Amino acid sequence: MENRSEAEASPYKSLVAAVSYGTASMAMVFINKAILMQYGHSMTLLTLQQLATALLIHFGRQTGYTRARGIDMPTVRRLLPVSLFYNANVAFALASLKGINIPMYIAIKRLTPLAVLIAGIFSGKGKPTAQVTSSVLLIAAGVIIAALGDFSFDLLGYGMALTSVFFQTMYLVLVERSGAEDGLSSVEIMFYNSFLSLPVLTFLIIITGEFPSSLALLFAKSNSLSFLLILVISLIMGIVLNFTMFLCTIVNSALTTTIVGVLKGVGSTTLGFVVLGGVEVHALNVTGLVINTAGGLWYSYAKYQQKMSKPPKRISDVEARSK
């Protein structure tokens, strides 16, 4: 039995988890945008990503490369809400990328810290500090100003992105609780999430009419080497993003994961103006994005100060043993 000090997350592991998630998350935005420009069936794409994740972890468990435990019904019942919220978040996020450009997508997703803080208040975590409150209000103001200057404004795309923010908030909070209270590692949560996602996603792509046309289009494009390369990269990065996101949330916290998301958005916003196109530059739009980014950086600094003034967070014994 390991002692309690050995179950604490080291500063190095916390940093690696945060940087890994930020890098994977930033790359995934551009990868998804690139593949959706050629293959518009976002729900089928998500299904393929989850299938690849489940098969890889299952294979790793069978060959002894991972320590993930088998499926048990009590854990399934506890993690079913996590899976539902996760897939709703990704599904709405992918759908929104078809209608809005990357800088505005990043700006809207920066509203997640505000939603997490509100959820924290209702769950008994208390009121945020004045700095945190001011910074998230600045983030929100930046989104509004940027939207007013967005010539390519797509109401449906904005609505999808905002809905994604809500679902992302819910699953981050649930993941933090599941990892800490149930003693699950990031790989185990990822496997349960993928396993529980597949029946729901299969049902959705059938009732929405994506299947079988999405499968037919996939086979039709299979003779394109560039498309296959992007698809394979998307599937691999989907696995990497899931793992790093769950690891960062367990080792650090749901709030830390949202802070990392804000910081990586600075690079994503800048690259979004020149990569993959779809952005019409307007002074009001740029001003709003700058305000939004400044608010995100201020928020991250405020939360960093707050985190440093608290005792280190403990992680589960299962996660500690994987170090």
Question: pLDDT tens across 293-317, in order?
Answer: 888 888 878 877 877 776 654 444 3
Sign of CA dihedral 129, 132, 138, 144: negative
What b-and-e string marks burial along 163-179, b requiring 16 or more CB atoms within 10 Å of the CB? bbbbbbbbbbbbbbebb
Q: Which helix (H) or strand (E) holds 268?
A: helix 254-272
Other CB atoms within a 10 A radius of the CB of residue 131 amount to: 15
For the segment 238-295, what is each residue's pLDDT rounded down to a tens digit?
899 988 988 888 887 777 787 787 777 777 776 766 665 556 667 887 888 888 888 8
For the segment 35-48, what is each residue's pLDDT rounded down to a tens digit?
888 888 988 998 99
Ramachandran quadrant class, 275 (left: phi over 0; alpha: psi -120 to 50; beta: rest): beta
Mean pLDDT, range 194-209, rounded to an integer: 89
Mean pLDDT, range 75-80, rounded to an integer: 86
The pLDDT of residue 16 is 87
Q: Which helix (H) or strand (E) holds 43?
A: helix 42-62
Mean pLDDT, range 108-132, rounded to an integer: 80
The pair of three-digit structure tokens given for residue 78, joined into one six-digit string: 């506890």
The pair of three-digit structure tokens given for residue 41, joined into one six-digit string: 């069936």
- CA 225 vs. chain centroid, Å, equals 28
Mean pLDDT in the chain?
Answer: 81
Which has the closest alpha carbon to 93: 23, 167, 193? 167
Does the pLDDT at position 319 exceed 50? no
What distance in Å separates the CA atoms of residue 120 and residue 123, rounded to the nearest whole number?
5
Which of 73-87, 110-124, 176-190 is predicted most confidently? 73-87
- CA 80 vs. chain centroid, Å, equals 17
The pLDDT of residue 250 is 82
On whether the CB atoms of residues 156 and 164 are closer than 8 A, the answer is no
- Helices 130-148 and 112-122: angle between axes, nearest 10 degrees: 140
On whether the CB atoms of residues 279 and 103 are closer than 8 A, the answer is yes
The pLDDT of residue 278 is 56
What distance in Å separates the CA atoms of residue 250 and residue 178, rounded to the nearest whole number?
9
pLDDT above 90: percentage of residues in the chain: 16
What distance in Å separates the CA atoms of residue 105 and residue 83, rounded to the nearest whole number?
23
The pLDDT of residue 24 is 92
